[in-house]
Amino acid sequence: MKDIEFKLDSTEIHPNSEIKGTILVSYPGRYDGVVINTQILDSNEHIVYKSYNGKNISQNVSRLFINKDVMPENKAEFTALIKFEPKQEHEVKFRASIIEQHKEIESQIIFAKYSN
């Protein structure tokens, strides 16, 4: 098993539909947390993260850091939204990384499709 396992409930994303994902860390060393970066290819638009592990996020964030201290059993679940109406299909790149002392230890990338 890899040190990080990252899954999305669906890789077909539509405007204003909730995106749900799960990150499971099995890294044996010390780490500070995980970060999720997302890029909507061929677009200047952003994803907005709404919650992690049941805790709502009050401000709009497009990059999400989840501290290890709030990851019971080294697991993080998150929700997010993409709000803009696409004129074409976009590929969305999700990258979840384990962070230790401001360095990336390991990451996993998932690609999804965003369309009407």
Q: Domain containing 92 — which CATH number?
A: 2.60.40.2410
Q: Is pLDDT above 90 for 59?
A: no
pTM for the structure as a whole: 0.92
User: How many domains in the chain?
Assistant: 1
- In the DSSP assignment, the letter for residue 3 is S
**The pLDDT value given to residue 38:** 95
**The pLDDT value given to residue 62:** 81
**The pLDDT value given to residue 60:** 80
What range defines the domain where residue 54 resides? Answer: 4-114
Contact 52, 78 (CB under 8 A): yes
Tokens representing residue 79 in the block: 């929700």
Q: Is pLDDT above 70 for 1?
A: no
